[in-house]
Amino acid sequence: MVAFEAEVVDFFVDAVEVIGLPKSVAAIYGIIFAAPEPLTFADISNRLDLSKGSISQSLKVLREMGAVKEVSAIGERAARFVPDLELRALVSGFLRSKVLPQLARGSSRLADLESRAKAIRDDDPDKTRSRQERLEKLASWQRKGQTVIPLISKFFG
């Protein structure tokens, strides 16, 4: 890996810590982003010290997010990967593939949590009130997320 590629990989690895994606996803996007030509799976493997399974999974995540695209060269069987260079596409893909599904799962998990909390029989009214206040706060956050995230996704989409 050349110095420029290494610096770009480090840049993306540092950036994903904020959003909770695996470092391997960032490293692979970084190496594809930095490369002047489309890269094959073998190219990525040769440039990064990652297992084939990690590369495969990370490429799957990146494709689902729309962060990389597969291109093919005439007469070659191996897929090559190029980055999507538009910030709008990256943010929209991340929101669509990671955040929106999490919000959907959060609704059902919150309903389960509320059911379990109602089943708790506690003689201490302060604990019951505290639990209810926390559940109401979670429900408020969930509603706000369900309102704001789709708007942000549309803005970037």
Residues 72 and 22 in one domain: yes
Domain count within the chain: 2
Same domain assignment for residues 27 and 46: yes
75 & 97 share domain: no
What percent helix, strand, coil does the chain show, rounded to 5? Answer: 75, 5, 20
On whether both 137 and 78 belong to a single domain, the answer is no
**Predicted structure pTM score:** 0.68
CA nearest 124: which of 134, 135, 132, 113? 132
Task: Give the DSSP H or E segment for 89.
Answer: helix 87-94
Residues with pLDDT less than 50, the chain: none
Q: What is the pLDDT of residue 82?
A: 95
Q: Give the domain range for residue 62.
A: 3-83
Q: Are residues 36 and 57 in the same domain?
A: yes
* C-beta neighbour count of 145 within 10 angstroms: 16
Q: Which of 64, 83, 102 is the last residue of a domain?
A: 83
**Amino acid symbol at 109:** R
Q: What is the pLDDT of residue 1?
A: 60
